[in-house]
Amino acid sequence: MTTGTLTQRPVGTPAIPGVVTLIIRYIGLMIVDAFALWLIFSLINDGIWELAVAIAAITLLVNVINLRPQLKPLRWMSPAFALLALGVIYPIVYTVYVAFTNYGDGHLLTKVQAVQLLERRTYVPETGVRYSWEAFLNEAGEYALWLTDRDGNAFFVIGQGELQPVSGEIPETYQGFRRATRAERTRLLTVAASQQFGPEDNRLSVTRDFVAVLAPRYRYDPSTDTITDLQTGTVFVGNDTIGFFIDKAAYEAALAANPDARPNDFIMRIEGFPAGVGYRTVIGFANFDRFFNSPALRGPLISIFLWTVVFAFSSVATTFALGLLVALLMQGKFVGRRFFRTMLIVPYAIPALISVVTWRGMFQPQFGVFSQIIPGLPNVFADGTLTRIAILIVNLWLGYPYFMLICSGALAAIPADLYEAAQVDGANQFQAFRFITMPLLLVSIGPLLISSFTFNFNNYTLIAAFNDGNPVIADSPIPAGQTDILISYTYRVAFSGQGGADFGFASAISIVIFVIVGTVTIMQMGLTRRWEEVSRNV
């Protein structure tokens, strides 16, 4: 048995789990599996295979853990694993995937969804069934139609219901509907675009002179990856490099005449989609290429990157310095020690967003408290350097209590006899601090300095709530601010709405952050040392 000490049962107790436990477990698994299967098939049906694979993998994992007796200890963790996989691991993996796609505005749909969208489009065929029509109206303002085809067969249809065969003259009232006046009949036409009649497989289009049965306009052929426009006969072929359907014949003709012809000039456009029905597709390293090589983006990106590093580094340095100073001052016994500590912790005990916005208010240029106290204080928010300094002050306020707590604990853990020995050797106070306190302190809280660095590297709340990353960097192709850090820039690219959402590019930036954060953590923290420490604890 690989399971541990606790599973070696004392003599006389049953080694087989109770029948009830078994039944509960199997029924539970069956419910989970049925639900997961339904979800997986629905996802595949819409072409969202990434998530389908992830859900399938998680489900498989949960099943294996719960069915194999060897993995019994892991049963205690299966919900934790499932959530960790869905909430952390899959998003990381998916970020990598999205970074290599054109996912974003104009390419939000999967190819399957794009085809579905096209297949729902209809048109009025030249041939086919046509009806003459009369409008009916009920109290609620709903319309119904009385239809008569060329052979004299009549039907009554209410909204998107089925066509009911009827006979005889057109009555004045029928099934709670009354015959519409001329004006009402005309009004129906003006809203006809949104008013569809008949069931889904037999949609009717209302025009002034007749009602016609609509036919699907596009047909997709998966074997050739082509869409045929049944109204015009044009054939479009999917181009997975750019994520659009393009006019096959026109593009091939252009290519024959000019080998440099671009597929982008032959995109299939339909009503409501003037830029074409784009779908998302893998585009290789294009997003990374843009990040590292685009001349227009280079200036803003370098400035943002440098500020991110400077900001994170300065934040750690200043908060650590002040926190250590306070911790040193709080050493020993003195009157009011607890009072001072409680008061000095207060910044740590207030939600960061509220604190940052409060500081934003205090720096407000016209009425803020600082501009009232300090005459001639320039508008901090209009100047990049001043905003940066203000951000560091705010972060000092936010962050020193953490290091105060940490350093207090770490100082208390330094053995007193070291100082006594130093004193015997004739060291002064400064020397004792420099050669005993600091080295020991840095050893014990070094990892926390690094984690504070990575935290600040991604301190979106501070940057966004203080000044939204502004003031803006002039003529940046993607809107960017002088106090933006990489994560807030990522947010702009993905969600700000200016210039359109570009999830692919935003994910590429996330990957760059991943790499930086990961490298910093692994290198400076001295992962090997941490490993050893961890393995001792395990």
Partner 1 sequence: MSSVSRTTTTALGVQRDGGMTFKQRRQLRNLVRYAILTVLIVFALFPVLWIVSASFNPLQSMASQSLIPNVSDPALLFKNYTDLLGNPDRYPFFRWLLNSTLVASVTAIGIVMITAPAAYAFSRFNFKGRRNLLLFMLLVQVFPNLLAMVSIFLMLQQLGVYIPFIGFNTPGGLILVYIGGAMGTNIWLMKGFFDSIPRELDEAALVDGATILQTYIRIILPAARPILIVIGVLSFVGIFNEFVLARVLLRDKESWTLMVGLYVNFVSSNFANQWGLFAAGAVIGMLPTLIVYLVLQDQIASGTTAGAVKG
Subset of 481-510 contacting partner 1 (CB under 8 A) = 487, 490-491, 494-495, 503, 506-507, 510
Closest CA to 322 of 339, 307, 344, 355: 344
528 sits near partner 1 (criterion: CB under 8 A): no
Short-list 389, 339, 383, CA closest to 359: 389
Provide, rounded to whole angstroms, the least separation between the CB of residue 199 and partner 1: 24
- Cis omega before residue 295 (within 30°)? no
Name every residue whose Cβ is closer than 8 Å to that of residue 60 and which is 6 or more positions away in sequence.
Answer: none
* Residues 108 and 275: beta-carbon distance below 8 Å: no
User: Among residues 159 and 499, whose Cβ is nearest to partner 1?
Assistant: 499
Q: Is 61 exposed, middle or buried (0-12, 13-18, 19+ CB in 10 A)?
A: middle
Query: What are the beta bridge partners of residue 158?
Result: 144
**One residue of 16, 165, 367, 475 binding partner 1 per CB under 8 A:** 367
Please tell me whether residue 538 binds partner 1 under the rule CB under 8 A: yes
Q: Binders of partner 1: how many residues, by CB under 8 A? A: 129
Q: Which is nearer to partner 1, 255 or 282 (CB)?
A: 282
Nearer to partner 1, 257 or 335 (CB): 335
First to last CA, the chain: 20
Half-sphere exposure of residue 529: CA atoms within 13 angstroms, side-chain side: 10
32 interacts with partner 1 by CB under 8 A: no
Q: How far is Cα 308 from Cα 483, in angstroms, rounded to an integer?
A: 8
Shortest spacing between CB 9 and partner 1, in angstroms: 8
From CA 70, how far away is CA 536, in angstroms rounded? Answer: 26
Q: Rule CB under 8 A: which of 369-428 touch partner 1?
A: 369, 397, 401-402, 405-406, 408-414, 416, 419-420, 422-423, 427-428
Instruction: Give me the DSSP letters along 393-441.
Output: HHHHHHHHHHHHHHHHHHHHTS-HHHHHHHHHTT--HHHHIIIIIHHHH
Determine which residue in the list 193, 349, 374, 474 makes contact with partner 1, applying CB under 8 A.
349
Token pair in block for residue 157: 């249809």
Window 68-107: residues binding partner 1 (CB under 8 A) = 71, 73-74, 76-77, 79-80, 83-92, 94-95, 98, 103
Closer of 160 and 444 to partner 1 (Cβ):
444
The two three-digit tokens of residue 166, written as one number: 């009827």
| Residue corresponding to tokens 């009916």 | 136
Q: Which of residues 286-315 bind partner 1 (CB under 8 A)?
A: none
Task: Give the contact letters, 159-198, x = binds to partner 1 (CB under 8 A), - = no.
Answer: ----------------------------------------
Residues 3-22 that bind partner 1 (CB under 8 A): 3-7, 9-10, 12-13
- Residue 144 makes contact with partner 1 by CB under 8 A: no
Q: How far is the CB of 377 from partner 1 (least distance, A)?
A: 15
**Structure token digits, residue 284:** 């290789």
Residues 6+ apart with CB under 8 A from 441: 324, 407, 410, 411, 414
Region binding partner 1 by CB under 8 A among candidate stretches 127-135, 187-195, 306-314, 367-375: 367-375
What is the pattern of x (binds partner 1, CB under 8 A) and - over residues 445-484? xxxx-----xx--x-xx--xx-------------------
**Which CB sits closer to partner 1, 70 or 164?**
70
Q: Does 351 interact with partner 1 (rule: CB under 8 A)?
A: yes
| Smallest distance from partner 1 to CB 431, Å | 8
If residue 340 lies in a helix (H) or strand (E), which one and from where to where? helix 337-345
**Residue 523 beta carbon to partner 1: minimum distance, rounded to whole angstroms:** 12
Residue 62 contacts partner 1 per CB under 8 A: no
